[in-house]
Amino acid sequence: MVHDLVCGMEIKDTSKAVSLIYEGKTYYFCTDLCKIQFEQNPEKYIKKNNENGNDHSHHKH
Ligand SMILES: [Zn+2]
């Protein structure tokens, strides 16, 4: 199953979705708006997606 990392929406038809290749991986978005938001801060959305609520040990500032 593929999800739009920006808004969290499930992408049911990837052939109609907006796609973006970032660091060799393809990401799908429901609209260009979500894609643009992702492009502006891709790390934020990728990290948010990978950590799954386990983001307490990352703040070292
Ligand atoms: Zn979206």
User: What distance in angstroms lies between residue 61's CA and the mean position of ligand 1's atoms?
Assistant: 30
* Residue 48: CB atoms within 10 Å: 14
Going by CATH, does the domain composed of 2-51 fall within 2.60.120?
A: no
The predicted pLDDT at position 29 comes to 97
User: What distance in angstroms lies between residue 37's CA and the mean position of ligand 1's atoms?
Assistant: 9
Q: What is the pLDDT of residues 6-60, one digit of tens each?
A: 999 999 999 999 999 999 999 999 999 999 999 999 999 998 767 655 555 555 5
What lies within 8 Å, CB to CB, of 39 at 6+ separation is 20
Residue 1 pLDDT class (50, 70, 90 cuts): confident
User: What distance in angstroms lies between residue 60's CA and the mean position of ligand 1's atoms?
Assistant: 30
For the entire predicted model, the pTM comes to 0.75
Q: Quick check: helix, strand or coil at residue 10?
A: strand
User: What distance in angstroms lies between residue 36's CA and the mean position of ligand 1's atoms?
Assistant: 10
Which tokens go with 60?
């070292």
User: What distance in angstroms lies between residue 48's CA and the mean position of ligand 1's atoms?
Assistant: 15
Q: Are 11 and 2 in contact (CB under 8 A)?
A: yes
